[in-house]
Amino acid sequence: MNRHCVSFFALLLAVISSTAQSPSSGASGSSAPAAVEPGVTTTVSPEVAQFQKIEDGWSGAVNRRDQYALELVLSPLFVDVSSDGDVTTRNQQIVQVINGQDKSLYLTQKVITVRMLGDIAVANGTYSLQHKVKGEEVEEKGIFTHVFERVHGSWLCINSQRTLLRQENNGKQKKPAATDSPFHIPFFGKGDKGSQ
């Protein structure tokens, strides 16, 4: 009988020991996947895809002049700083969309990086905005930084900053070389290719 008890406890100890040392278990012993390190910038991730979907909803709301869809993306605390320095609130953005005075207005946005900071996320990307300036249709290309806050399980933009890409003196947009990027992302720049 003693041999059976000793064998049982030895087997039980071996099972517990192997489970505790399993690489799939976290530090707490649970089998939950390890969390992404906070503040890490990612260019290919589920977060980029998730925020691209949000940005597409935002662009679609502007392009369709859809007040309700825009309210689902912009926080009541939203502040926008345009590429020319105009500061507007969520309500002012919605009024601009509803008025629809500029029928040529068309926005596209592409997320490049996302940084997750708990219930705050910072998305950076490029945008193209077609609109009229003094009766003439122009295409504005630049980069954006959008700060999102998680509210009741949804992400709402609380801050937007847009910056125009540099233009040459003759008024035409500078064409980037094949290796140029509007962002310098560490470890992805042209100077870092030799180390990969």
State the CATH number of the domain containing residue 163: 3.10.450.50
Residue 122 lies in a domain: yes
Residue 77 lies in a domain: yes
Residue 150 lies in a domain: yes
d(CA 19, CA 28): 12
The mean per-residue pLDDT over the stretch 163-183 comes to: 63
d(CA 137, CA 132): 4
Question: pLDDT tens digits, residue range 46-89?
Answer: 999 999 999 999 999 999 999 999 999 999 999 999 998 999 99
Residue 34 lies in a domain: no
Range of the domain at 86: 41-167
**Range in 9-18, 19-28, 67-76 the model is least confident about:** 19-28
Residue 1 lies in a domain: no
- Element containing residue 137 per DSSP (H, E): strand 136-151
The mean per-residue pLDDT over the stretch 104-119 comes to: 94
Residue 27 lies in a domain: no
Cβ distance 59 to 73 under 8 Å? no
Cβ distance 113 to 42 under 8 Å? yes
The mean per-residue pLDDT over the stretch 39-43 comes to: 54
Q: Cα separations (Å) of 63 from 13, 26, 90, 105, 147? A: 63, 45, 16, 7, 21
Tokens of 102: 């500029």
Look up residue 165 and give its DSSP letter: P
Q: What is the mean pLDDT of the chain?
A: 77
- Element containing residue 15 per DSSP (H, E): helix 2-20
Check: pTM over 0.95? Answer yes or no: no
Q: Cα separations (Å) of 124 from 61, 131, 159? A: 19, 22, 12
Residue 95 lies in a domain: yes
Cβ distance 111 to 48 under 8 Å? yes
Tokens of 118: 């708990």
Number of domain units in the chain: 1
What percentage of the chain has pLDDT greater than the value 90?
50
Residue 4 lies in a domain: no
Q: How many CB atoms lie within 10 A of CB 146?
A: 27
